[in-house]
């Protein structure tokens, strides 16, 4: 075997390796671009969409709509949540002073209250949109999930036997937010 044929084999092996590497990188980037949108939706969805999908047994169309509803909700509320954190930090900084200004503290708490109101309204819109895409059985489950998230108890739950006598004939037991 002469000198040139020996290097010719190495040359063709190198060409083959280059072709394999280029095709692997090309395949990776094509696959990445094709799935970028679905990966972004999955990342935006987090565990909330998967949880709702499991709990409500959503079909594919409903699941897509839930993803869109949650995406809009997050887009609306993320700046508000950031502003609440910023205002709370300012409130705590003011409280840390030797003589905090009560006017500033009142302004901070008022601002936090207004921002919480914006969040609550966004949650109401989200809940109403969820109810529109759900079946009646799924709506009941959505209501139960929201009740649990807000720390409210359903009718008759969480009340011991000692309170049964207080609510007679058609008055019903107190709902979330009712005073006993």
Q: What is the CATH number of domain 37-150?
A: 1.20.120
Enter the DSSP assignment of 2: -
The domains of the chain are located at 37-150
Q: Is 158 helix (H, G, I), strand (E, B) or coil?
A: coil
Look at residue 89 in the predicted model and tell me its pLDDT. 93
Q: What percent of the chain has pLDDT over 70?
A: 73
Q: What is the mean pLDDT of residues 86-103?
A: 92
Which residue has better confidence, 2 or 54? 54
| Count of helix runs (H) and strand runs (E) in the chain | 4, 0
170 backbone φψ class: left, alpha, beta (φ>0; ψ -120 to 50): left
Look at residue 5 in the predicted model and tell me its pLDDT. 64
The per-residue DSSP string of 41-72 comes to HHHHHHHHHHHHHHHHT--HHHHHHHHHHHHH
Look at residue 70 in the predicted model and tell me its pLDDT. 86
Model confidence at 107: pLDDT above 60: yes
Q: What is the mean pLDDT of residues 47-70?
A: 80
């Amino acid at each position: 075997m002469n000198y040139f044929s020996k290097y010719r084999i190495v040359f063709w092996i190198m060409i083959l390796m280059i072709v394999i590497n280029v095709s692997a990188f090309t395949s990776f980037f094509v696959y990445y671009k094709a799935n970028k949108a679905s990966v972004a939706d999955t990342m935006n969805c987090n565990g909330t969409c998967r949880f709702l999908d499991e709990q409500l047994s959503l079909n594919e169309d409903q699941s897509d709509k839930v993803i869109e509803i949650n995406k809009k909700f997050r887009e609306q509320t993320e700046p508000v949540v950031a502003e609440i954190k910023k205002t709370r930090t300012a409130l705590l900084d003011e409280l840390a002073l030797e003589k905090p200004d009560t006017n500033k503290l009142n302004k901070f708490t008022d601002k936090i209250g207004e921002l919480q109101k914006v969040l609550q309204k966004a949650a109401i819109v989200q809940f109403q949109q969820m109810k529109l895409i759900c079946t009646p059985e799924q709506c009941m489950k959505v209501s139960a999930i929201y009740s649990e998230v807000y720390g409210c108890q359903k009718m008759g739950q969480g009340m011991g036997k000692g309170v049964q006598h207080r609510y007679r004939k058609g008055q019903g037991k107190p709902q979330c937010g009712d005073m006993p």
